[in-house]
Amino acid sequence: MTAKMIRWAAAALAAGIALTATIASAEETVEYPLIKPTRQEWSFAGIFGRYDQAQLQRGYQVYKDVCSSCHAMSYVKFRNLADEGGPGFTEDAVKVLAATYAIEAGPNDAGEMFERPRLPSDPFPSPFPNDNAARAANGGALPPDLSLIAKARAVHRGFPWFVFDMFWPYQEQGPDYIASLLTGYQDPPEGVEVPEGTYYNPHFINGVSLRMPPPLDDDLVEYSDGTPQTKEQYATDVSAFLMWAAEPHLDARKELGLKVMLYLIIFAGILYFVKRQVWRGTPH
Is the Cβ–Cβ distance between 51 and 251 less than 8 Å? yes
Task: Yes or no: say if 173 and 155 are a contact pair by the CB < 8 Å rule.
Answer: yes
Determine which residue in the list 76, 82, 94, 149 makes contact with ligand HEC, applying CB under 6 A: 149
Select from 208, 216, 243, 245 the one that contacts ligand HEC (CB under 6 A).
216
41 Cβ contact partners less than 8 Å away, ≥ 6 residues apart:
none
Q: Maximum distance among all alpha carbons in the chain?
A: 99
179 binds ligand HEC (CB under 6 A): no
Count of other CB atoms within 10 angstroms of residue 7: 10
Of the pair 45, 155, the CB lying nearest ligand HEC is at 155
Give residues 82-121 in contact with ligand HEC (rule: CB under 6 A): none
Please give the size of the binding site for ligand HEC, defined by CB under 6 A.
23
Exactly one of 66, 73, 98, 208 binds ligand HEC (CB under 6 A); that residue is 66
For the chain, first and last CA: distance in Å? 69
- Are 155 and 36 contacting, i.e. CB atoms less than 8 angstroms apart? yes
Decide: is 184 part of the binding site for ligand HEC (CB under 6 A): no
238 is an interface residue for ligand HEC by CB under 6 A: yes
Shortest gap between Cβ of 112 and ligand HEC (angstroms)? Answer: 33
Provide, rounded to whole angstroms, the least separation between the CB of residue 263 and ligand HEC.
Answer: 38
Residue 76 interacts with ligand HEC (CB under 6 A): yes or no: no
**80 alpha-carbon distance from chain centroid:** 18
- Positions touching ligand HEC (CB under 6 A) are 62, 66-67, 69-71, 138, 141, 143-144, 149, 153, 178, 182, 205-206, 210-213, 215-216, 238
